Chains A and B, each alone.
Chain A
């Protein structure tokens, strides 16, 4: 079993109004050193290893559903899942 962590973020060219609002709040809390905030999504998948290559399958899932590549970038990490 593999644990896959998928990170989806808005592309650099896309304005992130949520991130801007959070940065504004941080500034009002006197964290003036914050220069940018980008908000994204974190997805954690448990994937059973079969005949299909995990990297290939996850990339496919990202392209088809998990991210919209018109506005979002994604990256993922594959780890051994620790059995409970």
Chain B
């Protein structure tokens, strides 16, 4: 399986993402600059964390206007798995690929620590490697991770089982219903504030994030590789 790590000016988790895919997962991966005009050779698209365009105006607002985003939209429509982490999640909401928006943390602080996440939905192509309601340890590092959506959207998210991760203990940022990650209706676009790519090896404090990447690959293999 071949992944693209999209790099915007100001992305800073792109190296971690690349490392997770190449060294821990053993899959193919390439960095793709934000002005790329074709993503057709890739099977999965990863939007890393960071501070694209310095978070000017709004997090992810300017990144959403870059060339590569119309290709990301195309890939989403084609059903390819798309994962946006942290700033990547913010970009996906700005692009309208995921509903809602990320606001300033309720306590106005940049929160940087490992939190407990609950896997609310383990039936997505990103989470089959987890048990339902499993508690996992994943680091967060954000100042604007306070997920917001209107009541109508929240009802829809619940009805369609689109809430994938919740903060298990006290929410660190004020998110509605402690939401930490959601998928789109089709289930192929996941956005989350916590950083699974920073939890892929016990040497760096934990490996609970690895199952997420393995789930993506497993699903892809099952649908794309024939065992004739």
State which of A10, A18, A70 has its C-beta within 8 Å of the C-beta of B108.
A18
Q: How far is the CA of A60 from the CA of B58 in the complex (A)?
A: 17
Question: A1 at the A/B interface (Cβ < 8 Å)?
Answer: no
| Proximity bits, B62-73, A CB within 8 Å = 1, else 0 | 100100000000
> Interface majority SS on B: helix, strand, loop or mixed?
loop
State which of B58, B106, B149, B150 has its C-beta within 8 Å of the C-beta of A15.
B106
Q: How far is the CA of A3 from the CA of B149 in the complex (A)?
A: 34
Q: How far is the CA of A14 from the CA of B106 in the complex (A)?
A: 11
State which of B57, B58, B107 has its C-beta within 8 Å of the C-beta of A17.
B107
- Chain A, interface size category, equals 10 to 19
Task: Check A14/B104 contact, CB under 8 A, given A65-B65, A66-B57.
Answer: no
In the complex the two chains form, is B149's CB within 8 Å of A70's CB? yes
**Chain B residues closer than 8 Å to A41, beta-carbon distance:** 57
Q: How far is the CB of A16 from chain B (nearest CB, A)?
A: 8
CB-CB contacts below 8 Å: B153-188 with A: 174
Q: Which residue of B lies closest to A14 (CB)?
A: B148
| Chain B residues packing against A (C-beta within 8 Å) | 57-58, 61-62, 65, 93-94, 99-101, 103-108, 148-150, 174
